[in-house]
Chain A
Amino acid sequence: MNMISPRSFWGGMSQAFLWALLLAVGVVVIYPLLWMALGGFKSNSQIFEQPFALPEQWSFANYLSAWRGVQGYMFSSLLITVVSTVTTVFISAWAAFGLTRTPMPAKPLVTAIVLGGMMLSPTVALVPLVRMLQSLDLYDTHWALIILYTAFRVPFTTFLIRAYMLDLPRDLDEAAMMDGANPGQIFRRIILPLCRPIIMSCIVLHILFAWNEYLFAMIFTNNPAVQTLPVGLTSMMSKQGTDFAQVFAAMTISALPIVIIFFLTQRYFIRGLTEGIGK
């Protein structure tokens, strides 16, 4: 007769608990998304009457009409997200390189000024920003949001990339310099490729921010051709009646690109953040 040793019993139990915990976390994270996607197949009545039941029919009618309603906003969101991601990450990487790997007078002060931008609340800056963008003829344009998203995210992104760059050995710069590389070449050919994990993390974080940002998008744009998805989604809801099935369908459509991007880049995302966490 085989005896189960206490060690293997408790080991098995802890494994089982771990799996149960991970499964529970997975359900907590995935179920709301699934519920939202399924809601797009229901009628308003079924959403209220049987919120947790499966749809009575699997018709894509809500998804089609939701797509017609949000496709213009989707284009604006894509444009603003892509351009502001490129500008933010590029400026931040350059800034982080300057702050970590070049001689600079009063470097701690400059670092404090750049990173101090994280403390600025977007809400209190709204009124002067409206005046400024109006005087520059940028109000109600895609550029308004691209510039604002870049300006408000550069400090945080610089903070992340700087922490990662501080970990890279100085010998690399010196070796490259001895081979005749100038600072620009060292940045482009040595440091930037080594920073790929944190750059990917910053890209994902910025995409998440720009895709979901509502306050600036609501205040600085008026024209539906310029407005982004979060503003478009709220325009589908009304106190006097909302087709929730269509709203859920539109929310699913708008969340889909983010979910796909996250799954494709999650390996880099986690690596980038954990490696930069030491500083």
Chain B
Amino acid sequence: MMKRSFQSLTAILAATSALGWGVASAASTEVADPTAAVEHQGHLVVLTKFGMQRLAPYFEALAQQYEEMHPGVTVELIQEDDDSIKGKTKTLVASNSVPDIYFSWTGTWGGNFIRGKRAVDLTPVVGPGSEWGKTFAPAAVDAFVYDGKNYGIPLYLDAKFMGYSKTIFADLGLEEPEDLDAMLNACDTIKDAGITPISFGNKEAWPGIHYIGQLLAYNVPREVLEQDFDPATAEYSHPGYVAALEQFGQILNRCTIGAGVNGVSYQNAIQDLSDGRSAMYYQEIIEFDNAASASTKLSPQDFGFFALPAPADAAGDPDALEGAPEGYMISSASSNVPLALDFMKFVTSQDNAKVLSSPPYGQPSAVVGGSDAAQMSPAVVEGLQSIADASYLMQWLDTVNHPRVAAAWLSNLQAFIGGNMSAEDVVTEVREAAAAAS
């Protein structure tokens, strides 16, 4: 009797599982309809990454304005910070409670939503040739393309630049370096003057990855890189990988304190530039207003930046820039996709984009013309122009790669910095991680 009950239970479970998988595999991705009428009625839930007290008022104000414009609509905000957004998103997805509009990084993070059919295909509304799509920087829109389809609405752009103290450079008779050798020579001069050339903290492991990402864009052709980002086609056989690591080794030895950077936090490193103890710090454009402000020794007028200089004989693209936009996706489970899109069009209007780009938020908007030079620090305005001029935006290595490959980059690069691993060994480890992930 008991055995029969057990068999019945097993059969029910098996049937339920099969049905569940069947439904999942049969589900198709919803496609946004640009002609759908927007009914300004209902409730929208928005998951943002603006939970920090400095940024939180941005979406709060927008939600309030939108509710005042459309009294039938209520907007509920879930505002998380850099770290909590990961745990919150995973839990909401696992419990099938994905908000109507949710934050996403580019790369594998966004790819997981596409694979799980959690995001609406936005190609007709934001893809090539669309009215709304034309309002964004093309590289920002392209970063959210998966399998030839657009899934994301970029909100702001980010890219990595070498920030420097104009005063220290001027005092030592230095100019912005044209190529990598010139930067290394400048480092020697700065070091001779008793100043740390580049403050670098790699305790968190990702700062080192950012150097390598930019150097790979310079040393490895774009098509080879993109082939290697996919574990199924990855080879990691191009000599540019080893060359990039060796160049990074030179930067490490001649411009920084050396292997000790593995014990320094990136926050210490940026503070060293702000306090005038170092001449340069490799940073994201969204950190510009933090590195040099009214409360730091390094004033905004003293702050300059340049792209990490490319080696003279680079085999890749010397005009590429490392960076990626961050943006939002629309949930395929949303009961009111047209309303969600309408809200995001409001968020990415030029007026609201200018507010986003200006202090206190200082997040360079991905909207074309979404910056007001009069309200922004000159460095951020110039940085935005550099991003627009870049021939290719090389995404962060730790988000564009499969998580296993990203982990291999992170841990082995720390070992390389610590002097415990050669450049060839790092590439071998990454290659093996890609093979294991395929």
Contact = CB atoms under 8 A, between A and B. Distances in A.
B87 A235 contact: no
Interface stretch (A14-22, A44-52, A85-93): A44-52
A237 B52 contact: yes
B53 A69 contact: yes
B97 interface: yes
B331 to A, nearest CB: 15
A134 B97 contact: yes
Interface in A228-260: 231, 234-242, 244
A219 B87 contact: yes
A238 B82 contact: yes
A4 interface: no
Q: Decide if the interface of chain A is mainly helix, strand, loop or mixed.
A: helix
A234 B84 contact: yes
A236 B84 CA distance: 13
Interface string A36-73: 00000001110011000000000000000000010000
A45 B271 contact: yes
Nearest to A68: B53
Contact of A49 (B79, B275, B290): B275
B340 interface: no
A239 B82 contact: yes
A222 interface: yes
Interface stretch (B88-96, B214-222, B369-377, B428-436): B88-96
B73 interface: no
Interface string A99-135: 0000000000000000000000000001110110010
A205 interface: no
B interface majority secondary structure? mixed
Interface residues of B, number: 38
A130 B92 contact: yes
Contacts of A234: 81, 83-84
Contact of B54 (A45, A49, A130, A238): A238
Nearest to B204: A239
Contacts of A130: 91-92, 94-95, 97
A218 interface: yes
Interface in B72-110: 76-79, 81-84, 87-88, 91-92, 94-97
Interface in B275-318: 275, 277, 284, 286-287, 289-290, 295-297
Given A222-B78, A234-B81, A237-B81, A45 B287 contact: no
A45 B81 contact: no
Contacts, number: 76
Contacts of B287: 240-241
B350 interface: no
A128 B91 CA distance: 10
A127 B95 contact: yes
Interface in A145-195: none
A8 B423 CA distance: 66
Contact of A222 (B76, B267, B277): B76
B61 to A, nearest CB: 14
Contacts of B92: 130
B206 to A, nearest CB: 10
B247 interface: no
Contacts of A242: 267
Contacts of A239: 82
A43 B296 CA distance: 10
B51 interface: yes
A44 B296 CA distance: 9
A239 B50 CA distance: 12
A45 B286 contact: no
Nearest to A70: B53
Contacts of A218: 84, 87-88
Nearest to B274: A45
Given A222-B77, A237-B81, A242-B267, A43 B97 contact: no
27 contacts: A45-B275, A69-B53, A126-B91, A126-B94, A127-B91, A127-B95, A130-B91, A130-B95, A130-B97, A131-B96, A131-B97, A215-B87, A222-B78, A224-B79, A231-B84, A234-B83, A234-B84, A235-B51, A235-B52, A235-B53, A235-B56, A237-B52, A237-B81, A239-B82, A240-B284, A240-B287, A240-B362
Interface of B: 51-56, 76-79, 81-84, 87-88, 91-92, 94-97, 267-268, 271-272, 274-275, 277, 284, 286-287, 289-290, 295-297, 362
Given A48-B275, A244-B267, 10 more contacts: A45-B274, A45-B297, A127-B94, A131-B97, A219-B87, A234-B81, A238-B52, A238-B55, A241-B54, A242-B267
4 pairs of A and B residues whose beta carbons are closest in the complex:
A241-B290, A130-B95, A222-B78, A48-B271
Interface of A: 43-45, 48-49, 69, 126-128, 130-131, 134, 215, 218-219, 222, 224, 231, 234-242, 244
